């Protein structure tokens, strides 16, 4: 159960504090890494633990009114401009309207809790670094108006035209929240919280891939010896990423969409989640990385 926050807003201090979540971090030792360590007197093989845990890479905000990101200190990054002015619902919001058109802006900004989280994770052992850089704007929908507001060109992509393809939930299970494509701000639904979650997933889908037809910066790190970074986020797959709600309720746990809730509706239509992604790494113990052995649950 989360803690309600006043006026659906959240500040940097609250976001930093939220990163101290053992459930979201899910720290575990998954194997052993081998390093060749050489000196003038010869070489020997050294070992180090191979660990896997989640890192809060970014804060993803999904909100109705342009220029009103619920992360109060970062609002100025996504103010209205000549191509991105309005927002909100396409009708009066009557609950029985199954075809209610909604619109959400989305921002993906580097999580501010990096230093605090690293210290927290380090208490369990060696900690991996994430891809997110402090307060870096990876995606601001106000700068991506052609794709985000007009769905050009993704409106005609196969993923957008094929029912059942790239969807959060499913019709057969009765828990369909919405489709990933087209990855824009418009969608149809009566549950504002679920619509906001779908938009957040769309934004994460964009920034965790390279070469997308959007205005953004990739939220990706490069693999190196003894370091296996997170890849593309896939809906409903916790092995690629998971979500911690920050507002309108602040959760101490992480989940994927769809989930059973509780789904608290924001009176202003603004929501924010921390995006946690899995990283695997081991401490360097020599000049040359020789490889690694996994115990159970290792995926590299």
List per-residue pLDDT tens for the chain, 300 residues long. 454 444 568 999 999 999 999 999 999 999 999 999 999 999 999 999 999 999 999 999 999 999 899 999 999 898 877 777 776 666 544 444 445 788 999 999 999 998 899 889 888 888 999 999 999 999 999 999 999 999 999 999 999 999 889 999 988 888 899 999 999 999 988 899 999 999 999 999 999 999 999 999 999 999 999 999 999 999 999 999 999 999 999 999 999 999 987 899 999 999 999 999 999 999 999 999 999 999 865 444
pLDDT for res 9: 86
**What is the Cα–Cα distance from 233 to 238, expressed in whole angstroms?**
9
| Residue 77: strand, helix, or coil | helix
CA dihedral 95, 101, 105, 106 (to 10 degrees): 80
Residue 234: other Cβ atoms inside 10 A:
17
Print burial letters for 271-294: b (CB count within 10 Å at least 16), e (below 16): bbbbbbbbbbbbbbbbeebeebee
> Backbone phi, then psi, for 243, in 5-degree steps?
-120, 140
What's the first-to-final CA gap in the chain, in angstroms?
34
Helix (H, G, I), strand (E, B) or coil at 7: helix
Two tokens, residue 95: 């609950």
Query: Which two structure tokens, joined as six digits, stand for 225?
Result: 């010896």
The residues, any chain, with a CB within 8 Å of residue 190's CB and separated by 6 or more, are 95, 96, 97, 98, 100
CB of 270 within 8 A of CB of 65? yes
Name residue, tokens 């970014």. 58
Contact 132, 113 (CB under 8 A): no
Strand, coil or helix: what is 174? coil
pLDDT of residue 97: 46
CB 247 within 8 A of CB 4: no
The domain segmentation of the chain, as residue ranges, is: 3-21+57-114+131-227+235-278
The backbone torsions φ and ψ at residue 13, rounded to the nearest 5 degrees and listed phi first, read -60, -40
């Amino acid at each position: 159960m989360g803690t309600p926050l006043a006026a659906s807003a959240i500040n940097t201090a609250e976001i930093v504090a939220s990163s101290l979540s053992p459930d979201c971090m899910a720290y575990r030792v998954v194997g052993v890494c081998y390093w060749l360590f050489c000196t003038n007197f010869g070489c020997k093989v050294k070992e180090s633990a191979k660990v896997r845990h989640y890192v809060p890479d970014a804060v993803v905000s999904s909100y109705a009114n342009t220029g009103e990101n619920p992360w109060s200190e970062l609002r100025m990054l996504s103010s209205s401009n000549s191509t991105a002015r309005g927002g909100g619902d396409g009708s009066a919001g009557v609950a029985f309207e199954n075809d209610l058109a909604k619109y959400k802006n989305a921002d993906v900004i580097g999580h501010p809790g990096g230093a605090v989280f690293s210290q927290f994770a380090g208490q369990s052992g060696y900690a991996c670094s994430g891809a997110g850089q402090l307060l870096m704007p990876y995606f601001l929908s106000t700068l991506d108006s052609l794709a985000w507001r007009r769905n050009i060109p993704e409106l005609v992509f196969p993923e957008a035209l094929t029912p059942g393809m790239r969807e959060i939930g499913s019709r057969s299970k009765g828990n369909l929240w919405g489709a990933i494509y087209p990855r824009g701000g418009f969608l149809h639904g009566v549950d504002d919280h679920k619509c906001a979650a779908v938009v957040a997933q769309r934004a994460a889908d964009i920034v965790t891939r390279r070469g997308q037809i959007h205005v953004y910066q990739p939220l990706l790190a490069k693999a190196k010896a003894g370091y296996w970074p997170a890849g593309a986020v896939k809906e409903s797959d916790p092995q690629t990423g998971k979500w911690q709600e920050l507002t309108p309720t602040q959760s101490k746990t992480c989940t994927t969409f769809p989930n059973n809730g509780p789904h608290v509706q924001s009176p202003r239509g603004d929501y924010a989640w921390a995006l946690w992604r899995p990283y695997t790494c081991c401490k360097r113990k020599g000049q040359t990385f020789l490889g690694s052995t996994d115990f159970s649950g290792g995926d590299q």
